[in-house]
Amino acid sequence: MPSLAFLPPFASTPLARTEVLTSHQSLLPLTAEGLTFRTGDRVLVDIETLSIGSSGATMILGPNGAGKSLLIQLLHGLIVPTTGRISFGGRPIDTAARKRQAMVFQRPVMLRRSVASNLGFALKAQGVGRAERAERTARLLVEGGFEKVADQPARTLSGGEQQRLAMLRALSTEPELVFLDEPTSSLDPQSTLAIEEMVARAVKRGVKVVMVTHDIGQARRLGHEMIFMHHGRLTEQTPAANFFDQPESAPARDFLAGQILT
Pattern 115-154, binding to ligand ATP, x per CB under 6 A? Answer: ----------------------------------------
Residues 15-44 that bind ligand ATP (CB under 6 A): 39, 44
Give whichever of 45 and 203 is closer to ligand ATP, judged by the CB atom: 45
- If 0-12 CB within 10 Å is exposed, 13-18 middle and 19+ buried, where does residue 4 land? middle
Residues 56-95 that bind ligand ATP (CB under 6 A): 62, 64-70
Which stretch of DSSP H or E encloses residue 199? helix 189-204
Q: Work out how close the CB of 196 gets to ligand ATP at its nearest, in angstroms, rounded to a whole number.
A: 18
Q: Beta 30-39 vs 42-52: how paired, if at all?
A: antiparallel
- Torsions phi, psi of 14, nearest 5? -80, 60
- Name the strands in the sheet holding 83-88, side by side, starting at the edge strand that comes first in the sequence: 42-52, 30-39, 83-88
- Asked whether position 218 contacts ligand ATP by CB under 6 A, the answer is no
CB neighbour list of residue 142: distance below 8 Å, 6 or more residues apart = none
Give whichever of 66 and 104 is closer to ligand ATP, judged by the CB atom: 66
Which stretch of DSSP H or E encloses residue 210? strand 208-212
Residues in the chain: 262
Pattern 93-122, binding to ligand ATP, x per CB under 6 A? Answer: ------------------------------
- If 0-12 CB within 10 Å is exposed, 13-18 middle and 19+ buried, where does residue 198 land? buried
Smallest CA-to-CA distance from 44 within 73, 19, 10 is with 73
Give whichever of 107 and 113 is closer to ligand ATP, judged by the CB atom: 107
Residues 229-258 that bind ligand ATP (CB under 6 A): none
Give whichever of 70 and 187 is closer to ligand ATP, judged by the CB atom: 70
Q: Work out how close the CB of 45 gets to ligand ATP at its nearest, in angstroms, rounded to a whole number.
A: 7
How far apart CA 119 and CA 124 sit, in angstroms, is 9
Give whichever of 69 and 237 is closer to ligand ATP, judged by the CB atom: 69
Contacts with ligand ATP: how many residues (CB under 6 A)? 10
Give whichever of 79 and 200 is closer to ligand ATP, judged by the CB atom: 79
The CA angle 193-194-200, to the nearest 5 degrees, is: 85
Give whichever of 65 and 89 is closer to ligand ATP, judged by the CB atom: 65
Q: Work out how close the CB of 213 gets to ligand ATP at its nearest, in angstroms, rounded to a whole number.
A: 9
Q: Is 37 helix (H, G, I), strand (E, B) or coil?
A: strand
Q: Work out how close the CB of 3 gets to ligand ATP at its nearest, in angstroms, rounded to a whole number.
A: 16
**Interface with ligand ATP by CB under 6 A: which residues?**
39, 44, 62, 64-70
